[in-house]
Amino acid sequence: MAYPDLEGREAAVHLLPLGATEPHGPHAPLATDTIISVGICRRAADRLLGELDVFVLPPVPYGVTRSGADFPGAVSISEETLRSLVTEIAASFERVVLVNSHLEPEQVWTLRDLRLPLFDITRRERAERLTDEFRAGAGHAGRYETSLVLADRPELVNNERTRELEAKMIDMPAAIRSGQTTFLAMGMDQAYAGAPADASAEEGEQTFQVLTDMLVELIREVAA
Protein backbone atom coordinates (compact mmCIF):
# COMPACT_ATOMS: atom_id res chain seq x y z
CA MET A 1 0.00 0.00 0.00
CA ALA A 2 0.97 3.61 -0.48
CA TYR A 3 -0.17 6.24 2.01
CA PRO A 4 -3.08 7.56 -0.13
CA ASP A 5 -4.54 4.04 0.04
CA LEU A 6 -4.82 4.51 3.80
CA GLU A 7 -6.44 7.95 3.78
CA GLY A 8 -9.92 7.91 5.22
CA ARG A 9 -9.64 4.21 6.05
CA GLU A 10 -9.65 3.00 9.60
CA ALA A 11 -8.63 -0.63 9.88
CA ALA A 12 -10.66 -2.57 12.43
CA VAL A 13 -7.55 -4.49 13.49
CA HIS A 14 -3.85 -4.43 12.62
CA LEU A 15 -1.91 -7.68 12.70
CA LEU A 16 1.78 -7.63 13.67
CA PRO A 17 3.58 -10.80 12.51
CA LEU A 18 6.47 -11.79 14.79
CA GLY A 19 9.22 -14.21 13.86
CA ALA A 20 12.89 -14.87 14.43
CA THR A 21 16.14 -15.27 12.55
CA GLU A 22 17.46 -18.60 13.75
CA PRO A 23 18.61 -22.03 12.49
CA HIS A 24 15.76 -24.31 11.40
CA GLY A 25 17.55 -27.53 10.53
CA PRO A 26 19.92 -27.87 7.59
CA HIS A 27 16.95 -27.72 5.22
CA ALA A 28 14.62 -24.86 6.19
CA PRO A 29 15.25 -21.10 6.06
CA LEU A 30 16.40 -19.01 9.01
CA ALA A 31 13.26 -16.96 8.38
CA THR A 32 10.89 -19.93 8.95
CA ASP A 33 9.02 -18.40 11.92
CA THR A 34 8.57 -15.05 10.18
CA ILE A 35 7.27 -16.76 7.03
CA ILE A 36 4.75 -18.72 9.10
CA SER A 37 3.47 -15.64 10.98
CA VAL A 38 3.06 -13.67 7.76
CA GLY A 39 1.29 -16.64 6.13
CA ILE A 40 -1.28 -16.86 8.94
CA CYS A 41 -1.87 -13.09 8.92
CA ARG A 42 -2.40 -12.91 5.15
CA ARG A 43 -4.88 -15.76 5.20
CA ALA A 44 -6.82 -14.28 8.12
CA ALA A 45 -7.02 -10.85 6.46
CA ASP A 46 -8.22 -12.49 3.23
CA ARG A 47 -10.77 -14.61 5.09
CA LEU A 48 -12.24 -11.49 6.72
CA LEU A 49 -12.49 -9.45 3.50
CA GLY A 50 -15.90 -7.82 3.35
CA GLU A 51 -16.47 -8.42 7.07
CA LEU A 52 -13.61 -6.57 8.76
CA ASP A 53 -10.87 -4.35 7.42
CA VAL A 54 -7.70 -6.08 8.64
CA PHE A 55 -4.26 -4.72 7.78
CA VAL A 56 -1.09 -6.80 7.99
CA LEU A 57 1.87 -4.79 9.25
CA PRO A 58 5.42 -5.49 8.05
CA PRO A 59 6.81 -8.32 10.20
CA VAL A 60 9.34 -8.15 13.02
CA PRO A 61 11.93 -10.67 11.77
CA TYR A 62 14.05 -10.76 14.96
CA GLY A 63 13.18 -12.27 18.30
CA VAL A 64 14.68 -13.46 21.57
CA THR A 65 16.52 -16.52 20.31
CA ARG A 66 19.39 -17.96 22.30
CA SER A 67 18.88 -21.71 22.04
CA GLY A 68 20.29 -21.88 18.51
CA ALA A 69 23.35 -19.76 19.23
CA ASP A 70 25.70 -22.73 18.62
CA PHE A 71 24.79 -22.65 14.92
CA PRO A 72 25.48 -20.01 12.28
CA GLY A 73 22.58 -17.71 11.50
CA ALA A 74 21.02 -17.04 14.90
CA VAL A 75 20.49 -13.31 15.48
CA SER A 76 18.98 -12.53 18.87
CA ILE A 77 17.59 -9.39 20.43
CA SER A 78 17.03 -8.97 24.18
CA GLU A 79 13.70 -9.21 25.98
CA GLU A 80 13.96 -5.48 26.67
CA THR A 81 14.42 -4.63 22.99
CA LEU A 82 11.54 -6.86 21.93
CA ARG A 83 9.31 -5.28 24.58
CA SER A 84 10.18 -1.72 23.46
CA LEU A 85 9.89 -2.48 19.77
CA VAL A 86 6.49 -4.14 19.98
CA THR A 87 5.10 -1.63 22.48
CA GLU A 88 6.14 1.34 20.34
CA ILE A 89 4.79 -0.17 17.12
CA ALA A 90 1.50 -1.10 18.80
CA ALA A 91 1.10 2.44 20.17
CA SER A 92 0.46 3.68 16.62
CA PHE A 93 -2.80 1.76 16.34
CA GLU A 94 -6.02 1.42 18.21
CA ARG A 95 -6.24 -2.36 17.96
CA VAL A 96 -3.28 -4.64 17.30
CA VAL A 97 -3.05 -8.41 17.47
CA LEU A 98 0.44 -9.87 17.89
CA VAL A 99 0.88 -13.01 15.80
CA ASN A 100 3.90 -14.96 17.05
CA SER A 101 5.44 -18.15 15.66
CA HIS A 102 8.77 -18.14 17.51
CA LEU A 103 8.14 -20.29 20.56
CA GLU A 104 11.29 -19.95 22.65
CA PRO A 105 9.96 -19.44 26.21
CA GLU A 106 11.62 -16.04 26.72
CA GLN A 107 9.98 -14.75 23.52
CA VAL A 108 6.53 -16.01 24.54
CA TRP A 109 6.79 -14.73 28.14
CA THR A 110 7.94 -11.29 26.98
CA LEU A 111 4.99 -11.00 24.60
CA ARG A 112 2.48 -12.25 27.18
CA ASP A 113 3.68 -9.59 29.62
CA LEU A 114 2.74 -6.81 27.19
CA ARG A 115 -0.97 -7.34 27.87
CA LEU A 116 -1.80 -6.94 24.17
CA PRO A 117 -3.99 -9.41 22.24
CA LEU A 118 -1.59 -12.25 21.44
CA PHE A 119 -2.05 -15.18 19.06
CA ASP A 120 -0.18 -17.71 21.19
CA ILE A 121 -0.29 -21.25 19.81
CA THR A 122 1.37 -22.65 22.91
CA ARG A 123 -1.90 -22.12 24.82
CA ARG A 124 -3.44 -25.52 25.46
CA GLU A 125 -6.78 -24.77 23.81
CA ARG A 126 -4.99 -23.80 20.58
CA ALA A 127 -2.19 -26.38 20.69
CA GLU A 128 -4.66 -29.25 20.94
CA ARG A 129 -6.12 -28.32 17.53
CA LEU A 130 -2.70 -28.67 15.87
CA THR A 131 -0.82 -31.70 14.51
CA ASP A 132 0.43 -34.69 16.54
CA GLU A 133 4.05 -33.66 16.10
CA PHE A 134 3.36 -30.14 17.34
CA ARG A 135 1.49 -31.44 20.37
CA ALA A 136 4.36 -33.83 21.12
CA GLY A 137 6.62 -30.80 21.55
CA ALA A 138 8.80 -31.60 18.54
CA GLY A 139 7.69 -28.59 16.53
CA HIS A 140 11.00 -26.99 15.57
CA ALA A 141 11.81 -27.34 11.86
CA GLY A 142 10.17 -30.78 11.83
CA ARG A 143 7.18 -31.96 9.85
CA TYR A 144 4.90 -29.22 11.24
CA GLU A 145 7.00 -26.15 10.45
CA THR A 146 8.60 -27.54 7.28
CA SER A 147 5.12 -28.26 5.88
CA LEU A 148 4.05 -24.67 6.54
CA VAL A 149 7.09 -23.29 4.71
CA LEU A 150 6.50 -25.72 1.83
CA ALA A 151 2.97 -24.34 1.49
CA ASP A 152 4.10 -20.72 1.11
CA ARG A 153 7.76 -20.56 0.12
CA PRO A 154 8.73 -24.01 -1.27
CA GLU A 155 11.73 -22.55 -3.07
CA LEU A 156 13.32 -21.86 0.33
CA VAL A 157 13.29 -25.50 1.48
CA ASN A 158 16.21 -27.70 0.46
CA ASN A 159 14.36 -30.89 -0.52
CA GLU A 160 17.49 -32.96 -1.02
CA ARG A 161 18.60 -32.34 2.55
CA THR A 162 15.07 -32.76 3.91
CA ARG A 163 14.75 -36.27 2.51
CA GLU A 164 17.84 -37.46 4.38
CA LEU A 165 16.87 -36.21 7.82
CA GLU A 166 15.98 -38.91 10.34
CA ALA A 167 13.09 -38.30 12.72
CA LYS A 168 14.14 -36.93 16.11
CA MET A 169 11.15 -37.00 18.39
CA ILE A 170 12.46 -34.67 21.07
CA ASP A 171 9.98 -33.14 23.51
CA MET A 172 11.40 -29.62 23.58
CA PRO A 173 9.17 -28.17 26.34
CA ALA A 174 10.08 -31.14 28.57
CA ALA A 175 13.79 -30.69 27.78
CA ILE A 176 13.54 -26.99 28.62
CA ARG A 177 11.75 -27.77 31.88
CA SER A 178 14.59 -30.06 32.86
CA GLY A 179 17.10 -27.28 32.32
CA GLN A 180 18.39 -27.86 28.78
CA THR A 181 18.44 -24.47 27.14
CA THR A 182 20.26 -25.04 23.85
CA PHE A 183 19.38 -27.10 20.78
CA LEU A 184 22.63 -29.07 21.23
CA ALA A 185 21.87 -29.88 24.88
CA MET A 186 18.40 -31.10 23.79
CA GLY A 187 19.99 -33.52 21.31
CA MET A 188 19.13 -31.41 18.27
CA ASP A 189 22.56 -31.70 16.68
CA GLN A 190 21.24 -30.31 13.38
CA ALA A 191 18.92 -27.69 14.89
CA TYR A 192 15.67 -29.54 14.28
CA ALA A 193 13.23 -31.78 16.15
CA GLY A 194 10.47 -33.90 14.64
CA ALA A 195 10.27 -35.49 11.21
CA PRO A 196 10.98 -33.01 8.42
CA ALA A 197 11.18 -35.80 5.82
CA ASP A 198 7.44 -36.38 6.30
CA ALA A 199 6.55 -32.75 5.55
CA SER A 200 4.30 -31.79 2.64
CA ALA A 201 2.81 -28.64 1.18
CA GLU A 202 -0.66 -30.24 1.53
CA GLU A 203 -0.24 -30.71 5.28
CA GLY A 204 1.14 -27.19 5.49
CA GLU A 205 -1.93 -25.71 3.81
CA GLN A 206 -4.23 -27.74 6.09
CA THR A 207 -2.36 -26.50 9.14
CA PHE A 208 -2.47 -22.93 7.83
CA GLN A 209 -6.26 -23.26 7.59
CA VAL A 210 -6.51 -24.39 11.23
CA LEU A 211 -4.20 -21.57 12.36
CA THR A 212 -6.28 -19.13 10.31
CA ASP A 213 -9.53 -20.37 11.90
CA MET A 214 -8.06 -19.70 15.34
CA LEU A 215 -6.63 -16.28 14.45
CA VAL A 216 -9.93 -15.20 12.86
CA GLU A 217 -11.68 -16.12 16.12
CA LEU A 218 -9.28 -13.91 18.07
CA ILE A 219 -9.58 -11.01 15.60
CA ARG A 220 -13.36 -11.09 15.87
CA GLU A 221 -13.12 -10.97 19.67
CA VAL A 222 -10.71 -8.02 19.53
CA ALA A 223 -12.83 -6.12 17.00
CA ALA A 224 -16.11 -6.69 18.85
Q: Based on the number of CB atoms within 10 Å of its own CB, is 107 exposed (0-12), middle (13-18) or buried (19 or more)?
A: buried
Least separation in angstroms between residue 91's CB and Zn ion is 27
Least CB distance to Zn ion at residue 104 (A): 9
Q: What's the alpha-carbon Rg for the chain, to the nearest Å?
A: 17
Shortest distance in whole angstroms from residue 97 CB to Zn ion = 19
Task: Specify the residue, 32 or 110, whose C-beta has the smaller distance to Zn ion.
Answer: 32
Task: Kindly tell me the burial class for residue 141, based on how many C-beta atoms sit within 10 Å of its own C-beta (0-12, 13-18, 19 or more).
Answer: buried
Task: Give the footprint of Zn ion on residues 1-40 (CB under 5 A).
Answer: 32-33
Under rule CB under 5 A, how many of the chain's residues touch Zn ion? 2
Nearest residue to Zn ion by CB is: 33
- Residue among 32 and 190 whose Cβ is closer to Zn ion: 32
Cβ nearer to Zn ion, comparing 15 with 172: 172
Comparison of 37 and 212: residue with beta carbon closer to Zn ion = 37
DSSP 75: B
Which of 33, 133 has the CB closer to Zn ion? Answer: 33
Q: Give the DSSP per-residue string, 172-208.
A: HHHHHHTT--STTTTT-TTS--B-GGG--HHHHHHHH
Kindly state the smallest distance separating residue 28's Cβ from Zn ion, in Å.
Answer: 8
Whole-number Å distance between alpha carbons of 95 and 118: 11
Report the DSSP pairing between strands 118-119 and 54-56. Answer: unpaired
Give the shortest CB-8-to-Zn ion separation in angstroms.
38
Total count of residues recorded for the chain: 224
Binding footprint of Zn ion on the chain (CB under 5 A) = 32-33
